[in-house]
Structure 1
Amino acid sequence: MTGGVLDSVNQRTQLVGQNRLELLTFRLMRKQRFGINVFKVKEVLQCPRLTAMANLHPLVKGVAHIRGQTVSVIDMSLATGGPAIPDPENRFVIIAEFNRSMQGFLVGSVERIVNMNWEKILPPPQGTGRSHYLTAVTEIDNELVEVLDVEKILNEIAPVNEDVSEEVLSKREEREESAPSQVLVADDSSVARRQVKRAVESVGYDVILVQDGKEALEKLKEMAAEGSIYSQLALVISDIEMPEMDGYTLTTEIRKDSSLKDLHVVLHSSLSGVFNEAMVERVGANSFIAKFDPDELGSAVLEAVKS
C-alpha cells in the first residue's frame, strides 16, 4: 500500500467541518495498531536510503533526500518505548507536516485509510503504559487504535523555543480592571498545552486548560450560565484536531450559541496550509496560527484583547 493510498486526499476536505476525519492506520513492531490524520500526511513510500549523520538524536534513524528536501526519519517504535525497527529498507516512511516542517516517520507497515467521526476518537485511558505518548484512542474492526502525540515526540527530539520575545512583551498594556483576564486553551497534546499556557501567561493572562472541543464547549456554557462570558474570558485558543470534538466544530458551536457567539476564537494547529485559511473563514474563527511560534501567539492574544 504505497502508490495510490493518498491520491484522493484533496477530495476529502469536505469531511472537515463535519467533525469527521480520516485516519491512516499503521503498525510498528508490535501487534498494536496506530493512526495518523490523513491531512498531516504528504506521502507514504518505501523507506528510501538513509544517511547517518553526526550528532543525530538517538530516535532519528537517518536523513533521506525526498523530492529535493532533506527529511529526518524518526524511528516511531523507538520513540514510543519499543524496539528499534530492523531492516528499514523493507519498511515504510510516512512523510508528514507538523509544526511548519516536514518529518519522516519510519513504521513497520502501513494499512489503510479509515473514515471516522471525531466523536469516536476518545481521550486515552489513564494508566496505560504508553498513555503519555497518546492523544487519543479509537476502535476499528474491534481493535484498539492509538493516535500518537507526535508533538510530544518531536519536542523530545528538537525542543522549540517557548519564550515570548521582549519585543512582544513590550507591547503589553495595563488592563482595565473590568477587562477579562482569562483565556481558554483547548488542546489534546500535553506538550502543546504547556507551550500555549506559557506564552499566554507571559503576556499577562490567566489560562483555563481543557483537553478537547467537547470539554471546551461544556466549560464555556458553564461559565456563561454564571454571567456574561465576555466579562470572564478574553478569547479562546483551540487546537483543530482533538478527540470527541474538533476545533472547527467547536467554533461552529460557539457561533451558534447566543451567549457565546461573539467570543474571539483563534485556531492553533500543527495542520498548516491554505486549506486551513479557508476553513477558518467557513466556520467563523477570527484567525488561524500554525504551531508553534510563541511570538505569534503572544501577539495574537494582545491583538485580540484590543479589538
Structure 2
Amino acid sequence: MSTELKSSILTESGTNELEIIEFSLLKKQPDGSKKICYYGINVAKVREVIRVPDTTDYPNAQPNVLGVFSLRGKLIPLVDLASWLGVPTENDLENKVVIVTDFNRMANGFLVDSVSRIHRISWEEVESPSQFLEASDQDCVVAVVRQNTNLIMILDFEKVIADINPELSMEKYDVTKDKRVVIDDVMMAKREAKTIMVVDDSAFIRRLIENTLRSAGYNVISAKDGGQALDSLTEFVRLCNEENLPISEFVDGIVTDVEMPKMDGMHLVKRLREIEEYKTTPIVMFSSLMSDDNRRKAIELGANDTITKPEIGRMVGLMDSFVLNIEPPEGSGSTPAPESEE
C-alpha cells in the first residue's frame, strides 16, 4: 500500500481553507481496554502513506526514532509518534502505517495505527488549543478540529522534528553570533524604533522568532493566529484614525506563518492588502510549506518575501531590508520572486 497525497488549496487565492488527514493511535488503557485518539496533519505536509517498511538501526538515534528506511532513493527516519507523545500502544507493526511527510525541506516517516480520511474545512472551524489549556513552549498541539463527536488534535510536527533532531532545530540559531547581522549601537537604536508583529499558532516557533528579533533590537508584539492578528491590526487602524497618526506608530512590519486556526497566513495577507493603511506594510511569510507554488501565491497576494522554515537566520536581514531600507548582507536577504507563469 502506498497512497500519494497532494493538495492545491494553499495555492488557491487566499480561500482560508485546508485539508487535513485524520489519523489515529490506539491507546492501551490501564484496565486493558483501548481508546482511539484522533489526530490530524495538513495534507500539504504529507507526501504519502505507506505500509511499515523494513528499517535499519541508526547509531545513537533519539529514543523515539525506530531507524531509517529508504524510499525513492532517499533515507528517511522513522519516528514512533505514539512513543514521542507518551501514548502506550500495541507493538504490532503488521497493522500500522507510516505517514511520510515532506516539509522544512526534510522528509520524515511517522508510525501511526491508522489513517482514516481527509477533511476539507475552513480555518474558521479550526480552534486554538489555548481555549482548553494555557499555551506553552512544550505544547505539541497547535489546533483542534471538531468532527461529529470527536476532537481531532492537529499536532505541531515542527516541534516533533526539532525534538528528535536538535542539530536541525531553529533553537540553535543565535542572531548575536551571526556575522551577517550587524549588531552595534547604531543598528540597535534603529531597530529599537521599529515594531514587528509576529503571527504564529505554535508557541514554540513564536518564541524563537520573537527572541531572534528582540536580540537584534526590534520591538515585538505577537498574535497566536491570523484572526487575532487581524483584530489587533484593525484596532490599530481605528486608533490611528482617531488620533490622526500613521500606522507605523503601532507596527512597522509583520512576520506571519501560513497554517493557523481561525485565519491562515495567506488569507491574512490578502485581507491586509485590502486595508489602505497596510497596503505597503512589509509582510514576510515564514512557513514550513513554502514550496515554489506557495511562494508564488504569497507574492501574488502581497507578501514582500517568504522564508522556508527552519531558515530563521534570514529573518533579521529581511526585516532590516524592508523596515529599515538597509540592503541585507549577501546570503541573508531576499530571494528573487518566482517568475509568473504565462
Same fold flag (TM > 0.5): yes
**TM-fit CA distance, 1:62:** 1.3
In the alignment, structure 1 residue 26 sits paired with structure 2 residue 23:
yes
1:224–1:214 Cα change, 3 Å: same
Residues 46, 92 of structure 1: 8 Å contact kept: yes
Match of 1:35 in 2: 40
Kindly provide the amino acid, as one letter, of the partner of residue 23 in structure 1.
I
Structure 1: state its 5+ residue gaps. none
Match of 1:48 in 2: 53
1:11–1:252 Cα change, 3 Å: closer
1:27–1:200 Cα change, 3 Å: same
Match of 1:204 in 2: 217
For residues 95-123 of structure 1, the C-alpha deviation after alignment (integer angstroms, 9 at most, x for no partner) is 11232211111111011111110000110
In the alignment, structure 1 residue 155 sits paired with structure 2 residue 162:
yes
Match of 1:280 in 2: 298
In the alignment, structure 1 residue 220 sits paired with structure 2 residue 233:
yes
What is the alpha-carbon distance in structure 1 between the residues aligned to residue 153 and residue 229 of structure 2?
A: 23
What is the alpha-carbon distance in structure 1 between the residues aligned to residue 135 and residue 83 of structure 2?
A: 14
Q: SS of the residue aligned with 2:278?
A: coil
For residues 22-79 of structure 1, the C-alpha deviation after alignment (integer angstroms, 9 at most, x for no partner) is 0011001231111100001111111111112221101112111111111111111111
Kindly provide the amino acid, as one letter, of the partner of residue 273 in structure 1.
S
Pick one of 289, 309, 331 that aligns with 1:271: 289
Pick one of 230, 240, 250 that aligns with 2:248: 230
Q: SS of the residue aligned with 2:248?
A: helix
Match of 1:126 in 2: 132
What is the alpha-carbon distance in structure 2 between the residues aligned to residue 177 and residue 73 of structure 1?
A: 46
What is the alpha-carbon distance in structure 2 between the residues aligned to residue 16 and residue 110 of structure 1?
A: 29
Residues 193, 219 of structure 2: 8 Å contact kept: no
For residues 142-191 of structure 1, the C-alpha deviation after alignment (integer angstroms, 9 at most, x for no partner) is 31111011122222222322212431232665377798421100001111
Kindly provide the amino acid, as one letter, of the partner of residue 136 in structure 1.
A
Residues 188, 216 of structure 2: 8 Å contact kept: no
**TM-fit CA distance, 1:15:** 5.0
Match of 1:166 in 2: 178
User: 5 Å matches for 1:23-102?
Assistant: 23-30=20-27, 31-83=36-88, 86-102=91-107
Normalised by the size of structure 1, how large is the TM-score?
0.91
For residues 222-260 of structure 1, the C-alpha deviation after alignment (integer angstroms, 9 at most, x for no partner) is 222222222332210000000010000000110011122
What is the alpha-carbon distance in structure 2 between the residues aligned to residue 46 and residue 177 of structure 1?
A: 55
252-261 vs 170-179, which deviates more? Answer: 170-179
1:177–1:72 Cα change, 3 Å: closer
Structure 2: state its 5+ residue gaps. 28-35, 241-245, 326-342
- Alpha-carbon RMSD: 2.4
Kindly provide the amino acid, as one letter, of the partner of residue 28 in structure 1.
L
**TM-fit CA distance, 1:263:** 1.0
The number of residues matched between the two structures is 304
What is the alpha-carbon distance in structure 1 between the residues aligned to residue 190 and residue 288 of structure 2?
A: 35
Give % identity.
32
In the alignment, structure 1 residue 185 sits paired with structure 2 residue 198:
yes
Kindly provide the amino acid, as one letter, of the partner of residue 55 in structure 1.
N
Match of 1:17 in 2: 14
Kindly provide the amino acid, as one letter, of the partner of residue 18 in structure 1.
T
Normalised by the size of structure 2, how large is the TM-score?
0.82
